[in-house]
Structure 1
Amino acid sequence: MNPKKIVFIHGLWIHATSWEPWMEFFNRRGYETLNPAWPGDAATVSECRSNPQPIANRGVTEVVDAYAKVIATLSEPPIVIGHSFGGLIAQILLGRGIASAGIAIDPAPIKGVWQLPFSALKASFPVLGNPFNLKKAVSLTFDQFRYGFTNAVPLDEARALYGRWAIPAPARPLFQAAMASFAGHETKVDTANTSRGPLLITGGERDHIAPPVLGKATFRKYPRNVVTEFKLFENRGHSLVMDAGWREVAEYCQTWLNKNGY
């Protein structure tokens, strides 16, 4: 029997190599793993920082289609595990029927989720506060990263995570998510697809970018006749996939996959 494949999908402002500890974790447990970058991302954090222009002006559909092309090269539909906007992308791919199962870790909201918590608005304001950012790649200052990602970890760890993983990100996906309730379809997920595989959605209790209210609202958009679950991680922020507590989340995900036959 061929090992199950997992495609990891990163979100805004974090480099694809942040998944490497997860890849090692799952490889040791018999899975095959891939962590494709978003279109325009360079191979290293330093390259992304020194030349952010190739990252700019990439929209959600373009990124989803890039991952779909990777999936098309595989021998069977993979498990998709995404964080933040990667969690949204994982749901779109699962809804298309080209993934066997999905895990959306503190995902960006799908179209139809109208809640807008203050912390999410504040975390997004460095981008959304200037409409001229639409076609640009935008970097977060450390203070902005601290508020959005690492508010639940010690300051020294926050600085280390920022130095190791933070990269510029295209502003367009945030604008697309912000406008989804009024126009556009880029963040729409086929929640009515009852032939899809199981889905796990998580929330971090202290997450500022994607507070649990968003994940719970997304969860409620899905019918109950297909496996769909929500898990809250207490006292965790948006950095939960890469900070010192990442293994707790990875172990829960593996247990959930095993429970559902993956």
Structure 2
Amino acid sequence: MKASSAKTIVFITGAFVSSDCWNEWKTYFEARGYRTLAPAWPYKDAPACTLRQRHPDADVASQRLVKLTAYFAAIVSAQPEKPILIGHSMGGLISQILVQKHLASAAVAIHSLQPQGIFTFKFSFYRAGWKALGFFTDPHKTYLMSFPEWQYAFTNGMPYDLQKDAYYNLLVPESKLLVRDATTPAAKIDFASPHVPLLFIAGSTDHFIPASLNYTNYKKYSHKGSVTTFREFSGRNHFVLGQPGWEEIADYILEWLSKH
């Protein structure tokens, strides 16, 4: 499909973390001529420490994928041009859905959560995400990841001090129902439809969303006239946005956008 010259980027945050995870990314892209937005999720427009103090939070616990996608669709539609979407994890999945709704000029899905019907047999995927699904627990109460769970699911391989700082600065409670929605029609993608340029970024050491799962997601797209790109980076975990050396990923995305 035709390339776009859009200069607006909407960053879409994933589950379990504050939208502050994009702060350095916003600075990076704004210094290169882009206008950027990183909207907080509904009920999460507060510092991470404040949100943790509200746990269990009934409002956050009520969040569902359909409503969250509609929330971001409204933000994207209100922009003066069709923006570029850059989403991480659940935000990557939402970016894929918004591309399907023809609301973007291009999109980057960083370690994207899988759409409906895509699975992996990787043990790390189930170990990292099982508790967040909250089966056999009250779905009307939020899930708050423990520090050891965070170390395994997000920041594996990083020094302890960096893991700890990231946990206290960014971790927030999450909706169990929202996480479950990834297995429902709310997360359905029509992989055969034409779409704007779409880039998938994966990390070789991501426990939560293994690179193989991202590759399966990418390979599902079958429209021959559309640009779909996949790139795996070595040594990148699920905390890729704040992991030391994140600029390598941003540099690649910037180069890809300049071409597509």
Check the 8 A contact 1:123/1:147 in 2, yes or no: yes
**1:44 is the counterpart of 2:43:** no
Distance 1:37 1:131 in 2: 29
Check the 8 A contact 2:73/2:98 in 1, yes or no: yes
**1:92 is the counterpart of 2:91:** no
Tell me, what secondary structure is at the counterpart of 1:132?
A: coil
Match of 2:226 in 1: 226
Distance 2:218 2:250 in 1: 20
Distance 1:17 1:226 in 2: 32
For structure 2, which runs of at least 5 residues remain unmatched after alignment? none
Distance 1:100 1:134 in 2: 36
Match of 1:17 in 2: 20
Tell me, what secondary structure is at the counterpart of 1:97?
A: coil
Q: Give me the TM-score of the superposition, normalised by structure 1.
A: 0.92
Structure 1 residues 212-247: Cα deviation after superposition (integer angstroms, max 9, x where no partner): 111011011101321001110101110111121211
Instruction: State the AA in 2 paired with 1:202.
Output: I
Tell me, what secondary structure is at the counterpart of 1:248?
A: helix
Tell me, what secondary structure is at the counterpart of 1:131?
A: coil
Q: Give me the TM-score of the superposition, normalised by structure 2.
A: 0.93
Check the 8 A contact 2:11/2:38 in 1, yes or no: yes
Instruction: State the AA in 1 paired with 2:19.
Output: A
Tell me, what secondary structure is at the counterpart of 2:85?
A: strand
Residue 129 of structure 1: how far off its partner (Å):
5.0
Match of 2:246 in 1: 246
Structure 1 residues 240-262: Cα deviation after superposition (integer angstroms, max 9, x where no partner): 111212111111111111111xx
Check the 8 A contact 1:92/1:190 in 2, yes or no: no
Matches within 5 A, 1:109-148: 109-128=114-133, 130-148=135-153
Check the 8 A contact 2:134/2:143 in 1, yes or no: no
Identity over aligned pairs, percent: 34
Deviates more, 1:244-253 or 1:200-209: 244-253
Match of 1:258 in 2: 258
Instruction: State the AA in 2 paired with 1:11.
Output: G
Check the 8 A contact 1:38/1:63 in 2, yes or no: yes
Match of 1:217 in 2: 216
Match of 1:186 in 2: 186
Match of 1:6 in 2: 9
Match of 1:157 in 2: 162
Alignment length (residue pairs): 253
Structure 1 residues 181-231: Cα deviation after superposition (integer angstroms, max 9, x where no partner): xxx30111232221x210001111000000011101101110132100111
Check the 8 A contact 2:17/2:171 in 1, yes or no: yes
Deviates more, 1:129-138 or 1:54-63: 129-138
Distance 2:190 2:32 in 1: 31
Instruction: State the AA in 1 paired with 2:35.
Output: E
Alpha-carbon RMSD across the aligned residues, in angstroms, is 1.5
Matches within 5 A, 1:164-183: 164-177=169-182, 180=183
Distance 1:241 1:92 in 2: 21
Check the 8 A contact 2:6/2:82 in 1, yes or no: no
Deviates more, 1:19-28 or 1:215-224: 215-224
Check the 8 A contact 1:58/1:170 in 2, yes or no: yes
Greater than 6 Å deviation, 4+ residue runs: none
Check the 8 A contact 2:44/2:60 in 1, yes or no: yes
Residue 3 of structure 1: how far off its partner (Å):
6.2
Distance 2:177 2:40 in 1: 17
Distance 1:36 1:133 in 2: 28
Q: 1:57 aligns with which of 59, 62, 83?
A: 62
Distance 1:59 1:133 in 2: 15
